[in-house]
A = this chain, B = another copy of it.
Amino acid sequence: MRIVVLAGGIGGARFLRGLKRAVPDADITVIGNTGDDIHLFGLKVCPDLDTVMYTLGGGIDEEQGWGRSDETFHLKEELAAYGVGPDWFGLGDRDFATHIVRTQMLGAGFPLSAVTEALCDRWQPGVRLIPMTDDRVETHVAVELDGERKAVHFQEYWVRLRASVPAEAVVPVGAEQAKPAPGVLEAIGEADVILFPPSNPVVSVGTILAVPGIREAIADAGVPVVGLSPIVGDAPVRGMADKVLAAVGVESTAAAVAEHYGSGLLDGWLVDTVDAASVERVEAAGIRCRAVPLMMTDVDAAARMAGEALALAEEVRTA
Contact = CB atoms under 8 A, between A and B. Distances in A.
B103 A82 contact: no
Nearest to A105: B84
A145 interface: no
A117 interface: no
Interface stretch (A90-98, A161-169, A203-211, A307-315): A90-98
Interface string A77-111: 11101111000000011101110110110010000
A112 B87 CA distance: 24
Contact of A104 (B72, B84, B97, B104): B84
Contact of A74 (B81, B93, B100, B101): B93
A75 interface: yes
Contacts of A98: 78, 82
Which of A41, A75, A104 has the most chain B CB within a 10 Å cutoff?
A75
Given A41-B104, A42-B107, A74-B72, A97 B82 contact: yes
Contact of A101 (B71, B72, B76, B82): B82
A292 interface: no
A232 to B, nearest CB: 36
A42 B103 contact: yes
A119 interface: yes
A149 interface: no
A11 to B, nearest CB: 25
A52 to B, nearest CB: 17
A76 B107 CA distance: 20
Contacts of A107: 42
A75 B73 CA distance: 10
A58 to B, nearest CB: 12
B101 A75 contact: no
A79 B93 contact: no
A105 to B, nearest CB: 9
A213 to B, nearest CB: 32
A103 B82 CA distance: 13
Which of A83, A84, A97 has the most chain B CB within a 10 Å cutoff?
A97
A101 B122 contact: no
A41 B92 CA distance: 17
Interface string A35-74: 0000001110000000000000000000000000011101
21 contacts: A41-B101, A42-B103, A42-B104, A70-B74, A71-B74, A72-B93, A74-B74, A74-B94, A74-B97, A75-B100, A76-B97, A78-B93, A78-B97, A79-B97, A79-B100, A81-B97, A82-B122, A83-B122, A84-B100, A84-B104, A93-B96
9 closest cross-chain pairs (CB), A and B? A78-B97, A74-B93, A93-B93, A42-B104, A75-B93, A78-B94, A74-B94, A79-B97, A75-B97
Given A72-B93, A74-B74, A75-B75, 9 more contacts: A41-B101, A41-B104, A75-B93, A75-B100, A78-B98, A79-B100, A82-B101, A82-B119, A96-B96
